Amino acid sequence: MDTVATLHAWAATASAVLAVGLVILGSLDGLGVVRAVRWLDRLIVVLLVAVCVAGFLGPILVLAVAPPAELIHFLYAAIALLATPLARLESMRRHSARVGWWVAAGGLLTLGAVLRLWATGA
């Protein structure tokens, strides 16, 4: 199970790095420095994969080892999974000219959730 825990931690680390990348690239797009909507969408997909890998390994750890230290860990996991894609969808719904700001905000929420996940894990 040590391997599963390590993979879970690496997926969480990848999620944090990707969230930081989304905040930076989204901010640059929002400022008008670069036009990066396609790259933002691609990064969101990669972020979803990383969060889903961590989310898939989480229940294995719960069943085989122990539940997280705090049960709010599961709420933070849901926020990490949904914040950025929902922010992107909201920017599409509003036909926003500054998609980057929406994605940067979602990335910040995701990053905050991932950091709290580290604090509330086992």
What pLDDT digit, counting tens, does each position of 55-107 carry?
999 888 888 888 888 889 999 999 999 999 999 999 999 988 889 999 999 99
Taking CA atoms, 57 is separated from 49, 92, 120, in Å, by 12, 31, 16
Q: Please state, in angstroms and rounded to a whole number, the distance separating the CA atoms of residues 56 and 63.
A: 12
Q: What is the pLDDT of residue 12?
A: 93
Residue numbers of the domain that contains 45: 2-120
Q: What is the pLDDT of residue 115?
A: 95
List the structure tokens of 77.
Answer: 């996991």
pLDDT in tens, 8-60: 999 999 999 999 999 999 999 999 999 989 999 999 999 999 999 999 998 88
pTM comes to 0.91
Total domains in the fold of the chain? 1
